[in-house]
């Protein structure tokens, strides 16, 4: 006669996993698909981050998408504050599980800017750089955020951090594409990026120029 204990153990394992599974799925299913349903969900405290890195990114990306959408302008001040508070709480929970996650620190920087806390935004951006200094995808996000607040920079360290991100962008075709857009639209930025490129090694400068030429050919085609 077979023992029933393995079956019982399996059932107990499944039951024990339900709260974790619910937490993970909540980051995906907890807010609906439209801007209005997302705002309503976040106002009431949903979705919440789970334990995995994937759930952190899904929930926090949803926060950023929601507060960046033009639809947020339709919210009254109380609803907007509730949404920001929810997103801040979820970012703090995610950081408690993953304090070296560069993306979460970037989210913190975005939220601090929304609050008008520029010094705290700079601090969060610096932590984001320290935890992932050379990853292009997050350097692109930091660079876009830097464009919003660089006029407020008052410390050399802040400018150096931004320059470090720009140099990461300068060494990939995708990053060069972003730099080229700003180069064309921002005259002051042109002198700055030229000066930064001159600090690269000859091989890196050649790669930068090759990427620029490839992008130019793509635009002409």
**Residue-level length of the chain:** 221
Residue 152: other Cβ atoms inside 10 A: 12
Cα separations (Å) of 19 from 13, 22, 24, 58, 137? 11, 5, 9, 18, 32
Alpha carbon dihedral 196, 197, 198, 199, in 10-degree steps, equals 60
Q: How far apart are CA 177 and CA 220, in angstroms?
A: 14
Averaged pLDDT, 42-69: 90
The answer to whether residues 170 and 179 touch, using CB atoms and an 8 Å cutoff, is yes
If pLDDT is split at 50, 70 and 90, which confidence band does 151 have? low
| Average pLDDT of the segment spanning 113-128 | 92
CB atoms < 10 A from the CB of 2, how many?
A: 6
**Tokens at 159, concatenated:** 């400018």
Would you say 60 and 94 are in contact if contact means Cβ atoms under 8 Å apart?
yes
Q: What's the pLDDT score for residue 153?
A: 56
- Residue 46, token pair as written in the block: 């949903």
- Residue 62 token pair: 């949803």
Model confidence, pTM = 0.81
Higher-pLDDT residue of 135 and 19 is: 135
**Residue 18: what pLDDT?**
42
Query: Has residue 58 got a pLDDT over 60?
Result: yes
Average pLDDT over residues 62-69: 94
Are 70 and 115 in contact by the 8 Å Cβ rule? The answer is no
- Indicate the angle between helix axes 53-68 and 77-97, nearest 10 degrees: 160
> Angle 173-185/156-169 helices, nearest 10 degrees?
120
On the question of pLDDT at 20 being above 70, the answer is no
Residues 175-212 pLDDT 10s? 988 888 788 778 888 888 889 999 988 988 888 888 77
**Closest CA relative to residue 166, chosen from 158, 156, 175, 153:** 175
Kindly calculate the radius of gyration of the chain based on its CA atoms and give it in whole angstroms. 22
pLDDT higher than 60, residue 9? no
Closest CA to 129 of 102, 95, 109: 102
Q: Indicate the pLDDT class of residue 4, thresholds 50, 70 and 90.
A: low
């Amino acid at each position: 006669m077979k023992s029933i204990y393995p079956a019982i153990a399996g059932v107990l394992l499944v039951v024990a996993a339900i709260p974790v599974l619910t937490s993970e799925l909540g980051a995906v299913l907890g807010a609906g698909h439209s801007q209005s349903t997302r705002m309503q969900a976040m106002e009431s405290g949903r979705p919440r981050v789970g334990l995995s890195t994937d759930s952190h990114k899904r929930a926090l990306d949803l926060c950023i998408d929601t507060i960046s959408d033009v639809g947020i302008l339709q919210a009254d001040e109380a609803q907007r504050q509730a949404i920001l508070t929810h997103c801040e709480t979820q970012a703090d929970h995610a950081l408690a599980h993953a304090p070296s996650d560069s993306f979460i620190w970037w989210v913190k920087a975005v939220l601090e800017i929304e609050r008008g806390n520029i010094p705290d935004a700079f601090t969060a951006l610096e932590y984001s750089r320290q935890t992932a200094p050379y990853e292009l995808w997050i350097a692109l996000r930091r660079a876009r955020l830097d464009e919003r607040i660089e006029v407020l920079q008052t410390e050399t360290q802040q400018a150096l951090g931004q320059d470090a991100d720009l140099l990461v962008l300068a060494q990939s075709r995708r990053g060069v594409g972003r730099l080229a857009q700003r180069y064309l639209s921002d005259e002051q930025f042109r002198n700055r990026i030229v000066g930064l490129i001159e600090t690269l090694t000859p091989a890196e400068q050649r790669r930068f120029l090759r990427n620029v030429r490839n992008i130019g050919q793509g635009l002409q085609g």
